[in-house]
């Protein structure tokens, strides 16, 4: 097996196609008309994926996904707003941390890492605290792979006349969300996840009404999505140096996304990856942390073997030497590791990955799984 180009089974950066990487071989000028068209085309295609062209703006932002989440909260939550943050993992905790750092008032509701937040929880919480203006939710909590019931929660939030901010970073493009059915003020994702682009830019689908009313909310110049959008709408250009190669790669990745069959096909491939992974790992005796009903086909958390000869670092190195990059666990209570199902990978890759995992465990003489 090649160690030169390992397959990343991580939830971003992830494995990209050669064609997507090839699209980065051109240098673009930020004033170039063709580059502006590339940006406009990317935003238009992204809006199409959520059926949001009529109701939402797509505002791209330089940086990793967290930059876009922070920008969305800073721009869309007024300084006297209050955010109810729904937490069942590390990314939910990060949302709360962002509110804290930005000085936005917030409260948190935390469930166990294997417990989705329910619409009934949100109903009860909103009844109990009328001062909440915004609810913030992680769609697929990547720290375990758990799926939170976004459509049901969105209906409750809308019925209470509150605003919803969704971090859909690891699900966007693979799990369907229709902006005409699921009401939200902001839904946030990034280039380097299920669209299979390279990392380097996030984007926020902001409701036109919410964004138009967001002037002056932001504490930050560079993270102000109102200003970013206004400038881009007027000039066709990014406000500050754009991540040109990232945009070009995302454009190429989107062409492949549509050629593959769009969201249904992308979802199906990831679901197949996930199923093969779970089946093959079960044969090795490795158990998944989440029950199937709440497992998103994005990333799977596995219980680490109990054998004292198991050490994640050594295991990781052995599996890497066989061509696959795994992801450490992110749970505080239980020892786990994670395997991503997303990226330019197919069921045959998942089979080969599990074979590599089994072999690594044999080499380490790990017998007690
Ligand atoms: C990847 C991810 C992010 C963004 O993380 P970055 O490291 O900033 O790219 C945010 N939320 C979720 C749920 C994610 O999976």
Residue 27's pLDDT is 97
3-state SS, 257-291, equals HHHHCHHHHHHHHHHHHHHHHHHHHHHHCCCECCC
CATH, residue 325: 3.90.1150.10
Residue 255 near residue 261, CB atoms below 8 Å: no
Residue 291's pLDDT is 96
CA of 279 to the centre of ligand 1 (A): 27
Q: Do 254 and 273 lie in a common domain?
A: no
Please tell me if the CB atom of residue 148 comes closer than 6 angstroms to any atom of ligand 1.
Answer: no
CATH, residue 197: 3.40.640.10
The rounded distance, in Å, linking the Cα atoms of 177 and 321 is: 38
Q: What is the DSSP letter of 295?
A: B
Q: Do 220 and 267 lie in a common domain?
A: no
Residue 2's pLDDT is 47
Contacts of 253 (CB under 8 A, 6+ apart): 16, 17, 20, 23, 191, 195, 196, 197
Q: Do 236 and 307 lie in a common domain?
A: no
Q: Ligand 1 atom 9: the closest Cα is on which residue?
A: 65
Please tell me if the CB atom of residue 138 comes closer than 6 angstroms to any atom of ligand 1.
Answer: yes
Q: Do 125 and 164 lie in a common domain?
A: yes
Q: Do 75 and 109 lie in a common domain?
A: yes
Contacts of 293 (CB under 8 A, 6+ apart): none
Task: Let me know if residue 70 belongs to a domain.
Answer: yes
Domain ranges, residue 324:
7-11+262-363
**Which is it for strands 7-8 and 324-325: parallel, antiparallel or unpaired?**
parallel
Q: What share of the chain is helix, strand, coil (3-state, %, to 5)?
A: 40, 15, 40
Q: Among residues 111, 114, 109, which one has the least CA distance to residue 124?
A: 109
Task: Let me know if residue 48 belongs to a domain.
Answer: yes
Number of domains forming the structure of the chain: 2
Q: Which of 258, 287, 316 is the last residue of a domain?
A: 258
Task: Let me know if residue 368 belongs to a domain.
Answer: no
Q: Do 310 and 334 lie in a common domain?
A: yes
Q: Do 254 and 357 lie in a common domain?
A: no
Q: Do 102 and 224 lie in a common domain?
A: yes
The rounded distance, in Å, linking the Cα atoms of 234 and 216 is: 18
Q: Which two tokens stand for residue 133?
A: 């203006």
Site to probe by mutation for ligand 1, drawn from 142, 186, 199 as the one with most ligand atoms within 8 Å of Cβ, is: 142
The rounded distance, in Å, linking the Cα atoms of 118 and 121 is: 5
Q: Which two tokens stand for residue 58?
A: 């797509």
The rounded distance, in Å, linking the Cα atoms of 42 and 38 is: 6
Please tell me if the CB atom of residue 142 comes closer than 6 angstroms to any atom of ligand 1.
Answer: yes
Q: Ligand 1 atom 12: the closest Cα is on which residue?
A: 169
Please tell me if the CB atom of residue 12 comes closer than 6 angstroms to any atom of ligand 1.
Answer: yes
Please tell me if the CB atom of residue 170 comes closer than 6 angstroms to any atom of ligand 1.
Answer: yes
Q: Which of 231, 258, 285 is the last residue of a domain?
A: 258
Q: Among residues 52, 70, 48, 53, which one has the least CA distance to residue 61?
A: 70
CA of 365 to the centre of ligand 1 (A): 35
Phi first, then psi: what are they for 337, rounded to 5°? Answer: -140, 165
Ranges of the chain with pLDDT below 50? 1-3
Residue 152's pLDDT is 98
Residue 332's pLDDT is 82
Q: Among residues 93, 100, 71, which one has the least CA distance to residue 219?
A: 71
Q: Do 81 and 44 lie in a common domain?
A: yes
For every residue of 206-230, DSSP letters joined together read EEHHHHHT-TTT-S-STT-HHHHHH
Q: Which two tokens stand for residue 345?
A: 């990978």
Phi first, then psi: what are they for 329, rounded to 5°? Answer: -75, 165
CA of 264 to the centre of ligand 1 (A): 23
Residue 52's pLDDT is 98
Find tokens 């062209």 and name the residue.
53
Task: Let me know if residue 1 belongs to a domain.
Answer: no
Task: Let me know if residue 317 belongs to a domain.
Answer: yes
Q: Which of 206, 234, 258 is the last residue of a domain?
A: 258
Phi first, then psi: what are they for 101, rounded to 5°? Answer: -65, -35
CA of 156 to the centre of ligand 1 (A): 25
CA of 169 to the centre of ligand 1 (A): 6
Please tell me if the CB atom of residue 167 comes closer than 6 angstroms to any atom of ligand 1.
Answer: yes
Determine if the peptide bond prior to 53 is cis (ω within 30°). no
Residue 17 near residue 344, CB atoms below 8 Å: yes
CA of 343 to the centre of ligand 1 (A): 15
Q: Do 127 and 90 lie in a common domain?
A: yes
Please tell me if the CB atom of residue 66 comes closer than 6 angstroms to any atom of ligand 1.
Answer: yes
Q: Do 229 and 344 lie in a common domain?
A: no
Residue 288's pLDDT is 97
Distance from CA of residue 93 to its chain's centroid?
A: 15
Task: Let me know if residue 298 belongs to a domain.
Answer: yes
Task: Let me know if residue 226 belongs to a domain.
Answer: yes
Q: Do 197 and 334 lie in a common domain?
A: no
Torsion of CA 354, 357, 362, 367, to 10 degrees: -90
Please tell me if the CB atom of residue 65 comes closer than 6 angstroms to any atom of ligand 1.
Answer: yes
Residue 3's pLDDT is 46
Task: Let me know if residue 273 belongs to a domain.
Answer: yes
Residue 78 near residue 212, CB atoms below 8 Å: no
């Amino acid at each position: 097996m090649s160690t030169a180009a390992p397959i990343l089974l991580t939830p971003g950066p992830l494995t990209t196609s050669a064609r997507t990487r090839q699209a980065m071989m051109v240098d673009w000028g930020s004033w170039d008309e063709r580059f502006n068209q590339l940006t406009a085309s990317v935003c238009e295609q992204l809006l199409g994926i959520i059926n949001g062209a009529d109701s939402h703006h797509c505002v791209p932002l330089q940086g990793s996904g967290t930059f876009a989440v922070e920008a969305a909260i800073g721009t869309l939550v007024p300084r006297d707003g209050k955010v109810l943050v729904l937490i069942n993992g590390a990314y939910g905790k990060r949302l709360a941390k962002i509110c804290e750092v930005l000085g936005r008032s917030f409260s948190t509701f935390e469930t166990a890492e294997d417990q989705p937040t329910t619409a009934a929880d949100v109903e009860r919480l909103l009844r109990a605290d009328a001062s909440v203006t915004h609810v913030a939710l992680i769609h697929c909590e990547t720290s375990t792979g758990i799926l939170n019931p976004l459509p049901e929660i969105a209906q409750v939030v809308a019925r209470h006349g509150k605003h919803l901010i969704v971090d859909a970073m690891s699900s966007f493009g693979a799990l369907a969300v229709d902006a005409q059915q699921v009401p939200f003020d902001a839904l946030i994702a990034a280039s380097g996840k299920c669209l299979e682009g390279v990392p380097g830019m996030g984007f926020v689908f902001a409701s036109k009404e919410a964004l138009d009313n967001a002037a002056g909310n932001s504490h930050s110049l560079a993270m102000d999505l109102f200003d970013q959008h206004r400038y881009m709408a007027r000039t066709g250009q990014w406000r500050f140096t754009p991540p040109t190669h990232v945009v070009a790669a995302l454009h190429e990745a989107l062409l492949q996304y549509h050629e593959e069959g769009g969201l249904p096909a992308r979802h199906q491939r990831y679901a197949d990856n996930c199923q093969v992974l779970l089946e093959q790992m079960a044969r090795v005796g490795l158990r998944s942390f989440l029950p199937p009903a709440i497992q998103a086909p994005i990333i799977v958390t596995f219980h680490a073997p109990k054998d004292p000869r198991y050490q994640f670092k050594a295991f990781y190195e052995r599996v890497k030497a066989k061509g696959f990059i795994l992801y450490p666990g992110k749970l505080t209570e239980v020892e786990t590791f994670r395997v991503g199902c997303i990226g330019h990978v197919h069921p045959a890759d998942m089979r080969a990955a599990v074979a590599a995992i089994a072999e690594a465990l044999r080499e380490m003489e790990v017998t007690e799984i």
